[in-house]
Chains A and B, each alone.
Chain A
Amino acid sequence: MKKNSPAQRAAITGILASLAIATAFLERAVCAALPLPPGVRPGLSNIIVTFACTAMGFPYALGIAAVKSAFTLLSAGVWAGILSFSGGMISVTATALLLRYAKKLSYAGVSVISACLHNLSQLFAVSLLSGSGAYWYLAPVLLLSGAGFGLLTGTALNAVIPALRKLFPFIKKG
């Protein structure tokens, strides 16, 4: 098979999408056992999406985030699906823009900003759909958790990138 051919990129996108779904599923199962404030999630699938963004490009990462949101919609309900979609689209767009223009930031810095924007866009979506601004009381908790978990997932991405490069040696560097 020709290296970096459309077929190969489609196959890798499929693998990354299934990895994103698997991490999201695992995360939900683990978080269900923990007394976390509403909306607080580690966002482990962010590792996969950011990798897709840097290695394959914005459209592929957007597609992976959309597939993950569709899985959330089917498995966790309409509200969770809407929140996943709104957060996913904003955070992937932010990640792509930051990777392109904020060259001085590390993956951890990019993840921190995109995680916080992910959480804020979810708050915006909930407020818009419910017609209530009361949900903004969650903003400090969600910003703080976004910063903490963004730092964690960005650092994790740095750690797993060498292994991912061995699997996909031909993909571009970010």
Chain B
Amino acid sequence: MKKDRKLLRGADLIPLAVILILCAVLFIMSRSGKKTVAVVVENGKTLYEIDLESVTGEYTIALDSGVTLAVSPGAICFLASDCKGRDCIRCGKLTSPGQTAACLPNKTIVYITGKTDEKTPDAVVY
């Protein structure tokens, strides 16, 4: 009679290793760069690129999608949203490259990336 599979096998290490290496590469790539820049994307279009290190005070950004973002020195977060789940707000503050928060119902995504270009402006509005 056929037996059920064992709890763990040596072969399981292969997919785990591949995934961990892939994660490490993607994570290092997203962190590369000197400046911490928050990118705000709505409906597939990049609306803002904010250099979080140059932010001195706190302010909010209200988007057409129904989302309000809060920007503070070194951090950005979803402050309010008219979506059902509020997962975006629960993501909390994004502070370092590689961190991402998204509001899928409102098609809005915010992620932190590292920029190498020293001439990157403090904030760009499209």
Contacts and interface: CB of A to CB of B under 8 A. Distances in A.
Interface of A: 32, 34-39, 76-77, 79-80, 83, 102, 104-109, 112-113, 116, 126, 130-132, 134-135, 137-141, 143-144, 146-147, 151, 155, 158, 161, 172-174
Contacts of B46: 134
Nearest to B97: A137
Contacts of B16: 109, 112, 147, 151
Which interface residue of B7, B22, B100, B113 has the most chain A CB atoms within 10 A? B100
A37 B91 contact: yes
Interface in B91-114: 91-92, 98-102, 104-105, 107, 109, 111, 113
Contact of A35 (B3, B20, B39, B90): B90
A140 B105 contact: no
Interface stretch (B23-31, B52-60, B67-75, B115-123): B23-31
B26 A38 contact: no
A38 B7 contact: no
A34 B91 CA distance: 9
B19 A147 contact: yes
Contact of A131 (B4, B44, B109): B44
B125 interface: no
A124 to B, nearest CB: 14
A130 B107 contact: yes
Contact of B100 (A107, A138, A173, A174): A138
A142 to B, nearest CB: 9
B118 to A, nearest CB: 23
B103 to A, nearest CB: 8
A173 B2 contact: yes
A73 B116 CA distance: 42
